[in-house]
Amino acid sequence: MAADYTPVLVALLFGVGFASLFLLAAATLGPRRDTAEKLAPFECGSEPVGSPNVRFSVKFYQVAILFLVFDIEAAFLYPWAVLFRKLSCTGELVGAVCASGVSFFGFAEMLVFLAVLIVALAYAWRKKAIGWG
Amino acid sequence: MSFDSAQLALSLPLLVVAAGGLLVLLLEAFSGTPARDEHGGRSYLAVAALITLAIATYAAVGQWAEAETPKAIYGGMFAVDRFALFVDVVLFAGAALAVLLAGGFLRTHRFEFGEFYALVLLGTAGAVMLVHANDLVALFIGLETMSLAVYVLTGSWRRSARSSEAAMKYFLVGAFASALLVYGIALVYGTTGTTNLSSLGGLAKGTGGAVMQEPLFLIGSFLIIAGLAFKIAAVPFHMWAPDAYEGAPTPVTAFMAAAVKAAGFATIVRLFTVAYGRPSLTFGAGGWASICAVLAILTMSLGNLAALRQDNVKRMLAWSSIAHAGYILVGVVAMARAGDDARGPILYYLLAYTLTTAGSFGVVAWIGSRGDERQNVDDWAGLAARHPAAALAMTVLLLSLGGFPPTAGFFAKFYIFRVALSQPGLISLVLIAIANSLVSVFYYLRVVTAMYFREAHRPFAPVRASGMTAGLIIATVGTLALGLAPGWVIELASKATLLGK
Amino acid sequence: MPAAAEGHLGQTIVFWVCTAVVLGGALLTITRRNTVVAAMSLVATFFGLAAMFTLLSAQFLAAIQVLVYAGAIMTLFVFVVMVLNRDEREPWALRGIVGKALGIGALGYLTLLGGTFLLGASALLTKQGAYHTEAPKPGWGGVADVGNALFTTYLFPFEAISLLLLVAVIGAVVVARTVKHAPPASQEPPTPPAHGEH
């Protein structure tokens, strides 16, 4: 029920409240003495080299898409793991105990799903889509 | 939990195509670096794809007898009926033609890649899912799988700026259409509590029928129809089609015009028959038949008028394929009243149109050489003198598109118009369709006259590939055979059963 | 608004706060010229939506909304911003006093149209009866409940999703493949190593 989320809400309000408070305090109370050094974009303490607006390799995009695909795959594993016990039982679970017998239904359905995605992974691997060589 | 493995056998065509797609992909990835010479570098992948499609066709044909009584498997998600099996065979034919055309085309234009065949097979698997889908969720996944594969294929000609542009347009509009569709599905589910097409159809019979007059349900249904209208490129949801068809590599265009469109129409037929088959919804205000009638008139008329103005043969064929969607929509309108009787003509049309349009795009793919696609009508002048067989094939295919006897296109239109005329109130729609067919003759014959009665102004250097030749022969002979002996096909098509009806 | 119907003040407040976050984030997303700021505004929208899903007791969806959308898809957006690196000038803008007046007029008209539509539709949308309005069962929308549907009733679409994801992987590899030998006529730059655009 939604009322169970009251602590979450309170935590959220505290988080947002404190962050805003500190930012506001820093902006209003702190002295501002800007120098060229301070205004420079921070690059690990070194002198900035060139513009930050460089075009990145399309590889980044490719890796991001692959990450997205396998992230979705992982999202599906999550409810499956919760239900695995139930899916592997030929009958109804009696208090988390399966009396009737083991079925490979739950295992097989994720196996098929993963097999297709392993083909995808193998393909991407062979095509050197993962890795920077 | 258990699973009835007999269901697997009933979905064999889908399983074969999907497994074939995986296999071709693995072959491509793990075959090392074979000597990719000028001829046949990756032809073994094309052969593997063709074998897969042949086995899948065999599986679909083998189920024909059994599927007379429709079944729903996988928890009611997947319908096994003759209607879906017929469309499966049409899809496999379209995919096989695309595969046959591709080898020579990709080699000529120097962008061979093995994924092409895997993507065609996986896209076909998506289309098969779509055609069999008896549930809005399965329908959506099938549609997305098919569309995604075709977006990638459209943009696969990386050196061609127009290919990238076409893919971009197709993808953006397609994603928008998918968003409309999924929003519509959400509204329909929200109002009825089910996504199953049979259950939706069942609501009409029980007391739940009132829900189908609810504004939210109607908005949702309209969004679903709009989403599908994008996929079949019906006016006013067509604006992506000319650019996407023109920019895509020509074998991909053939696949798009043939298989994707056939799958889209099959979905529309199933959706309207099973889920919205209620008599009071069919012709009332906001009923789907009146929406389809408006779409049909707009699609035919704009498609033909725009095709008249094209000098580019490929773009002309793209507009012509929009116009043909309009003729099929006439059949869908007739289905509102004629019911099952209209399904045979629509199926015949889909088969005839698939062979004809894939063949005509095939000739467009054949005529070009590297760096010169020869798409302008003027580039086709004098083809008959140099390459009489190709000119004859193109003439047969164009006459079929224009609806001349004794080709498949004539009987396709004839059966559709006949079933529409058998219903009262559709005479004006048929008259508009006939007027449109007459207009279309002008632009089809313009290419024919250029080929036969004009002088060539530069030499031809067409693609030389046995696969492409075979594809063109199959499409042309098929178009003629369907026209010369239409009886048994329409007989078969009219016996197509549909689940939940 | 299920929250208001239950007469629970706290839920109503949360609902309206979430609405403000979602709509505000969406507005910022389409109005900011800085693409990274726009992307971050979208994150706010995603979080607001996740909170709304929780209000509707769709907890699994809320978790996925944060993990996949605010996490993975946002990463993709930021990467695309990096790869494209377009400058922040508007591609087109209404110029001159006439153009701006036209724009404001059109916006006003749209607001009016949308307002009247919403007023007319709200009577229909809040109607009860034919729709399923019974309160969800305990556990509805939780991980186990969604999993139950996904791995039994909707097993076929679930397996089919693997094919969809496979096609997406092939697409990413094929489309992002570097073109080997571009002919001189091509305008398409071969995907360059990192170098400045300006």
Element (H, E) at B72: strand B71-73
pLDDT at res. B281: 59
Residue C58's pLDDT is 86
Residue of B143, B148, B207 for testing the chain C interface, max C β-carbons within 10 Å: B148
Helix (H, G, I), strand (E, B) or coil at B77: coil
Distance CA B256, CA B264 (A): 11
**Sign of dihedral through CA atoms A45, A48, A52, A56?**
negative
C-alpha to C-alpha distance for B276 and B222, rounded to whole angstroms: 12
Task: Give partners of A (≥3 CB pairs < 8 A).
Answer: B, C
Peptide bond into C138 cis (omega under 30): no
Please tell me if residue C98 touches chain B, with a CB cutoff of 8 Å.
Answer: no
Q: What's the confidence (pLDDT) of residue C166?
A: 96
- Specify whether the CB–CB gap between B345 and B234 falls below 8 A: no
As for how many domains chain A has, the answer is 1
Asked if the structure places residue B500 within a domain, the reply is no
For position C184, what pLDDT does the model report? 45
Q: What is the pLDDT of residues B197-252, one digit of tens each?
A: 988 888 766 655 677 777 778 888 889 999 999 999 998 899 999 999 999 999 99
Q: Does residue C193 sit at the A interface (CB-CB below 8 Å)?
A: yes
Interface contacts (A, B; CB < 8 Å): 28
Per-residue pLDDT averaged across A5-25, rounded? 90
Q: Quickly list DSSP for A80-132.
A: HHHHHHHHTBSS-EETTEE-S-B-SHHHHHHHHHHHHHHHHHHHHHHTT-SS-
pLDDT of residue A24: 94
Which of C:52-81 have CB within 8 Å of A? Answer: 54-55, 57, 60, 64, 67-68, 71-73, 75-76, 79-80
Question: Which residue carries 């008329």 as its tokens?
Answer: B301
Q: Once rounded to an integer, what is the mean pLDDT over residues B138-153?
A: 96
| pLDDT band at B153; cut points 50, 70, 90 | very high
Amino acid residing at B372: D
Distance between CA atoms of B235 and B226, rounded to whole angstroms?
10
Q: Do A122 and B29 touch (CB under 8 A)?
A: yes
8 A C-beta contact, residue B445 and residue B364: no
Kindly report the nearest CA distance between residue A3 and chain B, in angstroms: 24
Write out chain A residues lying below 8 Å of C80, CB-based.
61, 64
Q: How far is B9 from chain C (nearest CA, A)?
A: 14
A58 vs B: CB within 8 A: no
Between chains, do B78 and C163 touch, taking CB under 8 Å as contact? no
- Say yes or no to pLDDT of B501 above 70: no
Q: How confident is the model at residue A116 (pLDDT cuts 50, 70, 90)?
A: very high
Residue B186 has pLDDT above 70, yes or no: yes
CA distance A125 to chain C (A): 10
d(CA C165, CA A77) in angstroms, rounded, equals 14
Looking at the domain assignment, is residue A8 inside a domain? Answer: no
Mean pLDDT by 10 residues, chain C (198 residues): 54 88 92 86 93 87 90 86 68 68 83 74 57 68 87 92 95 82 44 42
**Do residue C14 and residue A9 have CB atoms under 8 angstroms apart?**
yes
Asked if residue B4 is part of any domain, the answer here is no
Question: Per-residue pLDDT tens for B60-82?
Answer: 999 999 999 999 999 889 999 99
Instruction: Determine, yes or no, domain membership for A52.
Output: no
* pLDDT tens, position by position, B318-342: 999 999 999 999 999 888 878 888 9
Break chain B down into helix, strand, coil percent, rounded to 5: 75, 5, 20
**What's the full length of chain C, in residues?**
198
A90 touches chain B (CB under 8 A): yes
Instruction: Give chain B positions within 8 Å (CB) of C179.
Output: 158-159
Structure-block tokens of residue B286: 């906001």
- Give the Cα separation of B148 and C64 in Å (integer): 22
Contacts of B152 in chain C (CB under 8 A): 167, 170-171, 174-175
Q: Which residues pair with residue A93 across a beta bridge?
A: A98
Contacts of A108 in chain B (CB under 8 A): 3
Closest to B174 measured CA to CA, from B114, B212, B123, B122 = B123
B105-127 tens-digit pLDDT: 999 998 888 899 999 999 999 99
The domain in which residue A104 lies consists of 59-126
Q: Is residue A84 part of a domain?
A: yes
> Which two three-digit tokens encode residue B32?
């090392």
Which residues in chain C (38-97) have CB-CB distances under 8 A to chain B?
none
For residue B406, cis peptide bond before it (omega within 30 degrees of 0): yes
Minimum mean pLDDT range among A23-27, A54-58, B101-105: A54-58
8 A C-beta contact, residue B289 and residue B282 = yes
**Is the Cβ pair C147, A66 closer than 8 Å?**
no
Domain coverage including residue B158: 10-32+41-494
What stretch of H or E contains C21? helix C9-31
Nearest chain A residue to B3 by CA: give it: A105
Nearest CA in chain C to A1: C57
Q: How many CB pairs under 8 A join A and C?
A: 158
Whether residue B352 has pLDDT greater than 80: yes
A51 or C89, higher pLDDT: A51
> Can you read off the two tokens belonging to residue B156?
């696969």
Q: Give C50 or A102, the one with higher predicted confidence.
A: C50
Distance CA C184, CA C198 (A): 23
pLDDT band at B32 (very low <50, low <70, confident <90, very high): low
Nearest CA in chain A to B18: A116
- What pLDDT score does C88 carry? 58
pLDDT for B285 equals 52
Chains that touch B (3 or more CB pairs under 8 A): A, C
ipTM of the predicted structure? Answer: 0.93
Number of domains in chain B: 1
Query: Nearest CB to C172: which of A62, A106, A121?
Result: A62
| CA–centroid distance for A75 within its chain | 9
Alpha-helix runs per DSSP H in B309-342: 313-338
pLDDT at residue number B2 = 58
pLDDT of B57 = 96
Are C148 and A117 inside 8 Å of each other by CB?
no
Q: What is the pLDDT of residue B128?
A: 97
Per-residue pLDDT, A1: 53
Best of A1, A12, A55 to disrupt the C interface (most C CBs within 10 Å) is A55
| Interface contacts (B, C; CB < 8 Å) | 100
Q: Which residues of B48-81 are buried (b: 16+ CB within 10 A; e: fewer)?
A: bbbebbebbbebbeebeeebeebebbbbbbbbbb
Under an 8 A CB cutoff, do B1 and A126 touch? no
pLDDT score of C2: 45
Q: Who contacts B473 (Cβ-Cβ below 8 Å, separation ≥6)? A: B393
A113 pLDDT band, cuts 50/70/90, is very high
- Nearest chain B Cα distance for residue C97, angstroms: 32
Q: Do C173 and A62 touch (CB under 8 A)?
A: yes
User: How far apart, in whole angstroms, are the C-alpha atoms of residue B174 and residue B163?
Assistant: 16
